[in-house]
Structure 1
Amino acid sequence: MTESENRAGPGRVAALAREVEEFVASGGWDQQPQLFALVPTADLLRQQPELADQLDQNSEFTPVAQDSLPEGDLAEALGRIAWPDAVHGCALAQEIIVLPPDAEQELPGLTEETDDGDVSEQDLQRLRQAAADHPRRTEARLVAAVLRDGSASCVMRLRGGVTGNDDSEAVDEIVESPDLAPNLIDALRATLQP
């Protein structure tokens, strides 16, 4: 672990997750998943000094948007990523559907398992469709960020609805916790392994 990673800690990775979420939110809703490399700002400025006016030089890390992820299985795409040593962390922003805890019993049951015990693609599609059609669903944007030192954080923006007045704007709710997406955190950490 480098000295700069050691100073980052959980508070710093939470700030990075918020920064990524705010950047993605500026583009509105209905976006594809987006991956970011978290690189030391000082290193980035040494390599590209022309960015000095565009970067917060007081920020230890800078999120750098990557090319679009391939269509299809996100877990499979993340499984093929291995970051170089210059990347000290990564973050992923993706739109998801959130259901209330009691809605699970309203979802269709699983009919098939694959040979390795996973859920079949057919069942996954049925569950996704049932969640998308559920009357109490909430659309959300989830950002998970991890650093090589193991620190992680998640930020979720729940898409708000108009409160009834014709002139009112939708109000989004922000939820922050490192425990929102443990499987995604694990998948992102795996991309940082040597």
Structure 2
Amino acid sequence: MRVDPKPKDDPLPSTPLRLVALEIEEHVAAGGWDQQPRLYALVPTAELVQREPVLAESLGVQLDAHPDGFTSIEQDGLAPDRPLEELLGEITWPDGVAGCAAVIERVMLPPEAEEHLPSDADELMTYVAEHPDRREVRLVAAVTRDGARHSAVRAREPDDATLLEGPDLVPGLLDHLSRTFE
């Protein structure tokens, strides 16, 4: 899957991190909603091709178009019964991994709803589930070892919801990912 360079009216730069984050979002979106969290290692494509020559042919077009780009490698074996943020606290990456990305679905409430949040966990779950202004969203967060960040958020409804993106839309998740490189 390849994401083309940005349209002329796009205010965000087409960095390798942004492009791989958008590619991951597009890939996950093709599978629909109600998916488990996903975690990806981000490896420089040029280095991957050097280390794994068999991949050179399949990644050749991507390497030609984006020689400084990343290849995302999905990590298997995430414990579905534990929150992703908790799992990230136990992860460290080998030196060959230049970045990582995560995709997770969440329910978001408008800022004004925060002042009415119950402190009891069960009451909180009910409050969020029944709130009339709740929105189900898919969050994509990507970071590099050197501190670059990109994030994207897509609402479940309407079906043609605009993808919002920027360097810090989901700061908590980005921070969790960044700590995997400390």
Give TM class, smaller chain: 0.7 to 0.9
User: Counterparts of 1:141 and 1:154 in 2: how far apart (Å)?
Assistant: 11
Q: Which residue of 2 aligns with 1:102?
A: 112
Aligned residue among 36, 44, 49 for 1:45: 49
Q: Of the two structures, which has the highest relative contact order with CA contacts closer than 8 Å and spacing of 6 or more?
A: 1
Q: Distance in 2 between matches of 1:172 and 1:37?
A: 27
1:20 is displaced (CA, Å) by 1.1
- Within 5 Å, which residues of 2 pair with 1:18-97? 18-55=22-59, 56-58=62-64, 59=66, 60-70=69-79, 71-97=81-107
* CA–CA separation in structure 2 for the residues paired with 1:73 and 1:91: 15
> Contact (CA 8 Å) 2:17, 2:70: kept in 1 or not?
no
- Write the letter of the residue equivalent to 1:31: Q
Runs of 5+ unmatched residues, structure 1: 1-8, 111-122, 162-169
Number of the residue aligned with 1:165? none
Residue of structure 2 equivalent to 1:17: 21
Instruction: Give the partner amino acid of 1:65.
Output: E
In structure 2, runs of 5+ residues without a counterpart are: 1-12
Cα distance in 2 for partners of 1:52, 1:36 equals: 20
Q: Which residue pairs with 1:188 in the alignment?
A: 177
**Secondary structure of the residue that 2:36 maps to in structure 1?**
coil
Q: Amino acid of the residue matched to residue 107 of structure 1?
A: L
Q: Is the 8 A contact 1:10 1:152 kept in 2?
A: no
Following superposition, the deviation at residue 75 of structure 1 comes to 2.2
Q: How far, CA to CA, are the matches of 2:53 and 2:93 in structure 1?
A: 23
Number of equivalences: 164
User: Which of 136, 140, 144 matches 2:141?
Assistant: 144
- Of 153, 157, 163, 2:154 maps to 157
Deviations 1:58-77 (A, max 9, x none): 33211111114212132221
Distance in 2 between residues matched to 1:88 and 1:129, nearest whole Å: 40
Indicate how the Cα distance of structure 1 residues 73 and 126 shifts in structure 2: closer, same or farther if over 3 A, else same. farther
Kindly, what percent of the aligned residue pairs are identical? 47
Q: How far did 1:124 drift?
A: 3.9
Q: 1:124 to 1:46 in 2, by over 3 A?
A: farther
Whole-angstrom distance in 2 between the partners of 1:52 and 1:125 = 51
Instruction: State the TM-score, normalizing by the size of structure 2.
Output: 0.81
CA distance in 2, matches of 1:105, 1:150: 33
